[in-house]
Structures are given as C-alpha cells and as structure tokens.
Amino acid sequence: MAGGIFSPLGSCSELEKANCHPLVCLLCHEPYQHPCLLDCYHNFCASCLRGRASDGRLRCPLCGHPSVVRGGTGLPPVDRLLQFLVDSSADGEEDVQCANCDRRCAKAELDTMYFCNTCGQPLCAPCREETHRAKMFTRHEIVSLSKRTKDIHKKCPLHEEPYIMFSTEKKSMLCINCFRDMQGESRAHCIDIETAYMQGCQRLDQAVMAVKELQTSTREAIVLLKAMIEEVRNSASEEEAAINSLFGRMQEQLSERKKTLLKAVQSQHEEKEKAFKEQLAHLASLLPTLQVHLVTCSAFLSSANKAEFLDLGYQLMERLQRIVKLPHRLRPAQTSKINSEYRAEFARCLEPLLMLSPRRSVVGSAGGIGPGITGTNMLPGSQCSKTLMVPGCPPDGDKMSTGPMVRKPTMHRYISTKVLLAEGRETPFAEHCRNYENTYRMLQMEIQGLKDQVQELHRDLTKHHSLIKTEIMGEILQKSLQMDVQIAAHYSAVEMMRSVFEEVWEETYQRVANEQEIYEAQLHDLLQLRQENSCLTTITKQIAPYVRSIAKVKERLEPR
C-alpha cells in the first residue's frame, strides 16, 4: 500500500475509540508488514510510510514529530523487536501437529499442547503422558506450547558453535570460539547465558515498572487535561455571560447618567442664557440714556452762557455723577463655560460595577501632575472661593505647573486627614499630615490676607476711584513673591516624601488608599494656593501702572 493514500490521524482520541491491537498498524489497520520505528517510537508498516518522506525527514502521521530517514529507501529502520512479536504471533496462529501421533490441534486447543525443548518438537497431552513419562525422558525440558523456547540451541553463524556466553559490554551472545578470540579486558564483561537471562529479566522488569508508572501518569494527565478542557469551556461560557451582563448593566447605567448629564447641561444653559439676556437688556436700556446725556452736555456747553452754566451746570454734573455711580453690571457675573464633569460622573457611575478603587496618579516620574483638573476648573465654591478669576494668569512654567492638576476638594482632604489623625496611629504618614496641616494653615492664612488686600485695592481703584500709594502695591507684590517661594519649597518637601510613603503603600493597600487620597489632595491644595497667588501677582502687576500714573498726576496737582 502506498503511504500517500492515507490521511494523518486526527487526534489520539481516535486510537481510544478504535481499541487497536498492538500488532496492528494504525494506518492500514492490518497486521504489521515490515514494521518501521520512528524517532517518536511510533510504528507503521513500511508500505504505509513509503512516499511520505520529504528532504530526508518523515513526519509521524500520529503525533507529527519529524524523523530523520537515511538511505535511498526513504524509510526508517525496521523494528526487529516488533517484527519478532509479529512472527511469533503468526507462528502461534498456525495449526500445530503432534510429532508423535500426528494429531493436529486447532487454535482453540493450543493451551492443551506442549513442547519439548530438548527434542524440539510439539506434543499433545496424551503423548506427553504416554511417551515422555519414560525414564529416558526425565531430563527433557517440557513446557506449554505458548511458553516454548524457540531455537534453544541456536548456533553462532560464524563458528557454527552453540552460544554459551553473553557479553554485557557488546550486548551480544558468544560461542566458545568467540569467547577465546576476545581481549582479556572484554572477557571480564562476559557471563553465562542463564545469568545473563536472569539479569536481563530483572532489568526488563525495572524498565516495565517505569513504563507502567509513566502509563499511569499519562492516563491521569489525560483525565486531568480532559477535565481542564471542560473547565475551560465552562469558564469561557461563564466569562462571556458575565461580560455580556456587565456590559448591559454598564450601558444602562451610562444611559441613565447620560440623560441626567444632558438635563444638567440644559439647565445650566438656560440659567446662564437667562442671566446674560437680563444683563444684556439692562445694558441695552442704559446705552440710550448715556447717549442722551452726552448730547445734552454737548448742547448745554455750546448754548449756555456763564450765568446759565453756573445756574444749571452743577445740577447737570450731579446728575452725571449719579448715573456713573449707579450699580451697572458691566462685567459678566459668571463664566460662559458649561461644566458638567461628565468624565468624573461616568467614571463614578461605573465604579460600583467595576469595583474600582478611587486611587489616582498625582505626579508622574517627571514631576507632572496627573489628569483631572486644569486652570479652568478653579471655580468658586470651595474653601478658597475668593479666587480672582482672571484669564491668562497661570503660574510660570515649572515643576508645579506642568500637566493638568488632580481635582481633589480641600474640604474632603481636611475631613479625611481628621479621620486619619483621630485613629491615633503613630505612623510616619500621620506625623507628616500633622506637620502638613500646620504649615498649610499658615500659608493659607497669609494667602487669604494678600487676597483681601488685593481685592480691597482693586475695589478702591475701579469703584471708588481713590488714590493708592505705590508703597502698598510694592509690599503686596513682594509678599506674593515670597509666598511663591515658600509654597514651592513646601511642595518640594512634600514631593520628596513620595518615595518614603510609596514603600509603605506597597505593603497594605487597604490602609494606604486613604493616605494616597489625602496626599493627592495636599499637593492639589498647594497647587491651588500657588495658582491663586500667581493670579494675585498678575493682578498686582496689571494695577501697578495705573497706580504709578495716578501718583504722577497727584504730584503735578499738589503744587497747584
């Protein structure tokens, strides 16, 4: 049979279903004809493997392991052991004829036949009892036919002498002449046939035991792998169901939160639009009034004489001053930015489903601040609600201002710190928080004082049009710069503690989660203070030219 007509076996499960005979080829399902042994120790008929070799390699049809083939035949070597078993099996299946009475024994009666190793002939049970019970046959070796010794007197093909020795070095049998021709050192490795047979049986028993252990382990591994395959299948089904379920719940939560956020955006839009329209209507009604009074002043100055001017001019000036002093809303009362915090809201609604921890990365390896807040998020309403919202006043580019800031309310950090200190644990982080709160409270009080001074000066300059001393502006600017240095130094000191705290945080996550949150809030509060101080500095610099110009005008008017 040509090997090309056979397709490779699908899997080892086909062998289990087939319950194949050990002397039957796995490809043609016939008794082996010239069985060949591959490198993977699988056997196949030579005719079944013929034509399968390619580039000196033959891939096993069962496991796919490549075997190296040599010679022009393109076939691996013949398995002599398996060929012996096949031949022995074929001999056992033939009809046996008794050498004494010529009685033929069928296959079913082979167990009743015997074999005389001394005579080299088969015997039936009656002949064994009748003929080989004589005294002359007492030394004959009679065994069951299935256990007969074939070619017990096999001779050496070189010297035609019977084998008497076995060389454990060369693993071959020796006759007397072969033994005499051997070197003296090699003779030490020769033993008699019976001893060699006994030692071989013992070693074979050991090898069989090892193979049986491997067989048991292999069967256990097969059972385990089958169970794991089933478990993988069940786990995949459960995981798919869990993913679909979670995805569905996430879609529902996101859809509900989307509706809520859209309503919030629409509400903010309506409120801001209403406020801007009311302010616009007020300013639209104010503009004609101003235009009329300007035209009135121009006409009065051109038509009135001195007496009429002195009689009505102060009345006109008083009216104009009252118009100017009226509370006109010239600046927008709020920003036009609509902020729904949709990213945080979406993440918050998914946290219960994903069981996420509120950990956030604050400062990266390069000192940048983690995502979450920018300069536009600094809106009033927190503990530092008196921040002046002046565009274009972020601090100078340095380590504290690189990257967006993490939005962590000061009040939340303050409460978390109080809870941590109330636990009474004397830890390095608790001591750090205690020192931090004292320093932060001092810096916050100084920043608040500077904010009050700048707001008062700004109010006096824009509303009351009062004169401001240049020395005051210089002092405020100097204090603001000093505060910037102090905040930067404190920020660097807190930042240097990161490596110390990260070693502690890696030990227990549950306890450290709260500490990390407080730490992030501390850095954020310092950034917020510095940003507020930077805005104060910018405002002070913007006001300074007006103060200096007013001071110069005052110097010119004083002599007069």
Residue 42 lies in a domain: yes
Considering the domain architecture, whether residues 349 and 421 belong to the same structural domain is answered as no
pLDDT at 251 (0 to 100): 92
Considering the domain architecture, whether residues 211 and 306 belong to the same structural domain is answered as yes
Residue 405 lies in a domain: no
Percent of the chain with pLDDT over 90: 5
Which residues, in sequence order, are CB contacts of 434 under 8 Å at separation 6+? 421
Residue 517 lies in a domain: no
* Total domains, the chain: 3
Tens digits of per-residue pLDDT, 103-146? 777 655 666 778 887 777 788 888 877 777 777 777 777 777 76
Considering the domain architecture, whether residues 328 and 455 belong to the same structural domain is answered as no
Residue 531 lies in a domain: no
Last residue of a domain, one of 301, 323, 353: 353
Considering the domain architecture, whether residues 329 and 423 belong to the same structural domain is answered as no
Considering the domain architecture, whether residues 240 and 317 belong to the same structural domain is answered as yes
pLDDT at 233 (0 to 100): 92
Last residue of a domain, one of 353, 369, 393: 353
Last residue of a domain, one of 310, 329, 353: 353
Q: Answer yes or no: are the C-beta atoms of 526 and 440 closer than 8 Å.
A: yes
Q: Answer yes or no: are the C-beta atoms of 403 and 368 closer than 8 Å.
A: yes
Query: What CATH code is carried by the domain that includes residue 77?
Result: 3.30.40.10
Considering the domain architecture, whether residues 346 and 430 belong to the same structural domain is answered as no
Residue 185 lies in a domain: no
- Which of 437, 446, 455 shows the shortest CA–CA distance to 525? 437
Distance CA 53, CA 39 (A): 14
Tokens of 292: 């009329």
Considering the domain architecture, whether residues 433 and 320 belong to the same structural domain is answered as no
Residue 156 lies in a domain: no
Residue 393 lies in a domain: no
pLDDT at 409 (0 to 100): 52
Considering the domain architecture, whether residues 242 and 332 belong to the same structural domain is answered as yes
Per-residue pLDDT of the chain (560 residues; tens, 9 = 90+): 333 333 444 444 554 544 567 788 888 888 888 888 888 888 888 888 888 888 888 888 888 888 888 777 778 888 888 887 777 766 555 567 787 787 777 655 666 778 887 777 788 888 877 777 777 777 777 777 766 645 444 778 788 788 888 888 888 888 888 888 888 788 888 888 888 888 888 888 888 898 888 888 888 888 888 888 998 899 999 999 999 998 999 999 899 999 999 999 999 899 989 988 888 888 888 888 888 888 888 888 888 888 888 888 888 888 888 888 888 777 777 788 888 888 888 888 888 887 644 443 333 333 333 333 333 333 333 333 333 333 334 444 444 444 444 444 566 677 777 777 777 777 888 888 888 888 888 888 888 888 888 888 777 777 665 666 677 778 888 888 888 888 988 888 888 888 888 777 766 666 666 777 888 888 988 998 988 898 888 888 888 887 887 877 777 777 65
Per the structure, the complete domain to which residue 56 belongs is given by 19-91
Place of tokens 């300074």: 544
Residue 331 lies in a domain: yes
pTM: 0.38
pLDDT at 238 (0 to 100): 92
Question: Contacts from 551-560 at CB under 8 Å and sequence distance 24+?
Answer: 551/467, 551/469, 551/470, 554/467
Tens digits of per-residue pLDDT, 220-244? 888 888 888 998 899 999 999 999 9
Beta-strand pair 142-144/114-116: antiparallel
